[in-house]
Amino acid sequence: MAYINENYLKLPGSYLFAEVARRVSEYKKNHPSADIIRLGIGDVTLPLPQASIDAMHKAVDEMAHAETFRGYGPEQGYPFLIEAVRKHNYTDRGLDIAADEIFISDGSKSDCGNIQEIFAENSTVAITDPVYPVYLDTNVMAGRTGTLKEDGHFEGVVYLASNAENNFCPALPKEHVDMLYLCCPNNPTGTTLSHSELKKWVDYARANDTVILFDAAYAAYISEPDVPRSIYEIEGAKDVAIEFRSFSKTAGFTGTRCGYTVIPKTVTAKAKDGSRHPLNALWNRRHCTKFNGTAYIVQRGAEAIYTEEGQAQVKENISYYMENARIIREGLKTAGITAFGGINAPYIWLKTPGGLKSWDFFDKLLDTGNVVGTPGVGFGPCGEGYFRLTAFGDRENTERAVERISKLKF
Ligand code: PLP
């Protein structure tokens, strides 16, 4: 008799975007001619940078000849990509990260989801609320939580409310936590922490023997100087923080798949006998056992974004999305709707007008404006009464969506 991992049964049935898709398809069925504009799912729409395309074509050709063919590569990633990442995102910025502290992967979702495996099962977990659901769900699956309570919180998880009242900088946990997930720039709120705010979290982690799991998937969108691009800009972070990065939103790799995780060898955690162990070694062991490397062709495509032309192309795409963000932000403001984010991130987090609940606003927007967004409550109970719009659409549709929203009466 095989038994299931019953922790999976604790998770609510329908995943947020599946429910969004269900409601949209239901609406379409009843209104077949509706011209629906989607500003919901956080997926890019612009093609890959030409530099990446060229590099991948070349890599495909290498695969066609015995002399240049590549089979399994190093699980941790090819040195050419590790060195490019290291130089561009760390050493050139004065951050001392070694090559064997960077692990190339098939994207950040796997890394953010899998990292919990190297921590003890009884570790306490803190997440900001609302947040990217992967951190919580993977810990539920691993049995680090109790069941889902009526208020939408899982038992045993420390939720750190992040809202307009605290300017999206949650208060530090009152209790001790072992693992602390931070996402900056934040999905879904599009807000960020300043250097001094992030320093408080690093100080907390150092004082409490906590490991910070810092998701910087949107670092490339930061425009303001006081927002850290990497947690290692904060003094002391190298002893307590793991950083996740992705090529997905940086360079349009959502379908191509490449990311990386940085684990300085100075980040350690305890065994039951009190001995301390570097997490780098544990992750390396996991990575080599369960992962067989990202495709050579994809790694060549990722490397190409660090060339001069690659950088120019990436910046152009990001500017395009951030202009959409500006249009949404300013359009909402003109319409009298309070909104946050959209300056250092491609997400705009609006307060639903008229005190509507997130899903009620979703239905109203779909029904009367034919615009699709994402209900804030889907990212955590504190997202109730908020709504996420993304800047990843095309310009014309973004402008049309904003025009429609501004004509709505709430
Ligand atoms: N982290 C955050 C905060 C995200 O929003 C996303 C994707 O939406 C990811 C990680 C996953 O990125 P990847 O495409 O690299 O798996």
Counting from 1 in the atom list of ligand 1, the atom nearest the Cα of 131 is: 3
Q: Quick one: 113 and 150 in the same domain?
A: yes
> Which residue has a Cα nearest atom 5 of ligand 1?
187
Instruction: Report whether 214 contacts 262 (CB < 8 A).
Output: no
**Together in a domain, 89 and 230:** yes
Same domain, 187 and 334: no
CB atoms closer than 10 angstroms to residue 388? 26
Residues 323 and 276 in one domain: no
In a domain, 217, yes or no: yes
Q: Is residue 4 part of a domain?
A: no
Q: If you measure from the C-alpha of residue 340 to the centroid of ligand 1, how many angstroms do you get, rounded to a whole number?
A: 20
| Domain end marker among 267, 287, 306 | 306
Q: pLDDT digit string (tens) for 295-327?
A: 999 999 999 999 999 999 999 999 999 999 999
In a domain, 84, yes or no: yes
Domain for residue 258, yes or no? yes
3-state helix, strand, coil in the chain (%, to 5): 45, 15, 40
Report the nearest atom of ligand 1 relative to the CA of 254: 14
**Is residue 24 located within the same domain as residue 136?**
no
Distances in whole angstroms, Cα of residue 286 to Cα of each of 92, 181, 299, 409: 29, 20, 20, 53
User: Is 104 in the same domain as 224?
Assistant: yes
Q: Say if residue 120 is in the same domain as residue 27.
A: no
Rounded to the nearest 10 degrees, the angle between the axes of helix 50-63 and helix 308-334 is 140
The domain tally of the chain equals 2
- If asked whether residues 215 and 331 sit together in one domain, one would say no
109 CA distance to ligand 1 middle (Å): 5
- Written as one letter, the residue type at 370 is N
Residue 231 included in any domain:
yes
Same domain, 381 and 279: no
Residues 323, 275 within the same domain: no
User: Which of 261, 278, 306 lies at the terminal end of a domain, its last residue?
Assistant: 306
Final residue of a structural domain among 282, 306, 330: 306
User: pLDDT per residue over 156-195, tens digit each?
Assistant: 999 999 999 999 999 999 999 999 999 999 999 999 999 9
Q: How far apart are the CA of 284 and the centre of ligand 1, in A? A: 21
The model's pLDDT over 16-41, given as tens digits with 9 standing for 90+, comes to 888 999 999 999 999 999 999 999 97
Cα–Cα dist 278/274, whole Å? 13
> What is the dihedral angle through the alpha carbons of 315, 320, 325, 326, rounded to the nearest 10 degrees?
100
In a domain, 2, yes or no: no
Ligand 1 midpoint to CA 218 (Å): 8
Which residues sit with their C-beta closer than 6 Å to ligand 1?
42, 107-109, 112, 132, 183, 187, 215, 217, 246, 248, 254, 259
Work out which ligand 1 atom sits closest to the CA atom of 247: 15
Determine the distance separating the centroid of ligand 1 and the alpha carbon of 323, expressed in angstroms. Answer: 21
Residue ranges making up the domain that contains 108: 53-306
- Expressed in angstroms and rounded, the spacing between residue 86 Cα and the centre of ligand 1 is 20
Ligand 1 centroid from CA 132, angstroms: 8
Q: Cβ(301)–Cβ(48) under 8 Å?
A: yes
Atom of ligand 1 nearest to the CA of 42: 8
The alpha carbon torsion through 171, 193, 251, 21 (nearest 10 deg) reads: 40
CATH code for position 31:
3.90.1150.10
* pTM across the whole model: 0.97
Residue pLDDT tens, the chain, 410 long: 999 999 999 998 767 888 999 999 999 999 999 999 999 978 999 999 999 999 999 999 999 999 999 999 999 999 999 999 999 999 999 999 999 999 999 999 999 999 999 999 999 999 999 999 999 999 999 999 999 999 999 999 999 999 999 999 999 999 999 999 999 999 999 999 999 999 999 999 999 999 999 999 999 999 999 999 999 999 999 999 999 999 999 999 999 999 999 999 999 999 999 999 999 999 999 999 999 999 999 999 999 999 999 999 999 999 999 999 999 999 999 999 999 999 999 999 999 999 999 999 999 999 999 999 999 999 999 999 999 999 999 999 999 999 999 998 87
- Pair (150, 273) in one structural domain: yes
Q: Which among 334, 261, 278 has a CA at the least distance from the CA of 111?
A: 261
Identify whether residues 146 and 254 lie together within a single domain.
yes
Index of the ligand 1 atom closest to the CA of residue 248: 14
